[in-house]
Amino acid sequence: MNDTLAIREYSDELAPHFRDINAEWISSMFRLEDTDREVLDNPGTKIIAPGGVILFVEHKDLGIVGACALQKTGPTSYELTKMGVLESVRGQKAGEFLLSAIIERAATLKADPLYLLTSSKCAPAIHLYEKFGFRHDVEIMERHGARYQRCDVAMRYFAGFST
């Protein structure tokens, strides 16, 4: 049990954190694409209303430091998307804490497949995803990879894998 970090559910009050945290990391390595702006500016309508989830990680002293979403993309399929942690807290396990919580939530939703799209420039994140049971997947890349210009890595989660 982590006594420094806690998971918070999405609320309209927390929506600005979702936007700011994700805009920070995307802009630090890439440029915000139209699809990013749509989701970041309208998380309630683009993620929550269609059956998705947004979770936040809150540090007891620093407030909201990370966010991650499950975006429903089919009857049972979910994309793990917009996972970001503030640069100021990287290395403090907030990302691992958040990723574990979002995978648990995906399991309660019976997400199949649970997948993500990323860039090979995000090597630390890819390593984290691999540690948690995500594997590179050509089919996911073919089906969903064109969604982002920066996407050259697609991964699928394999349940039952443990860290």
5-157: CATH topology is: Aminopeptidase (3.40.630)
Q: What is the domain partition of the chain in residue ranges?
A: 5-157
Rounded Cα distance between 138 and 155, Å, is 8
- One digit per residue, the tens of pLDDT, for the chain of length 163 reads 578 999 999 999 999 999 999 999 898 888 898 889 999 999 999 999 999 999 999 999 999 999 999 999 999 999 999 999 998 898 889 999 999 999 999 999 999 999 999 999 888 899 999 999 999 998 998 887 666 777 889 999 997 644 4
Residues 6+ apart with CB under 8 A from 48: 10, 54
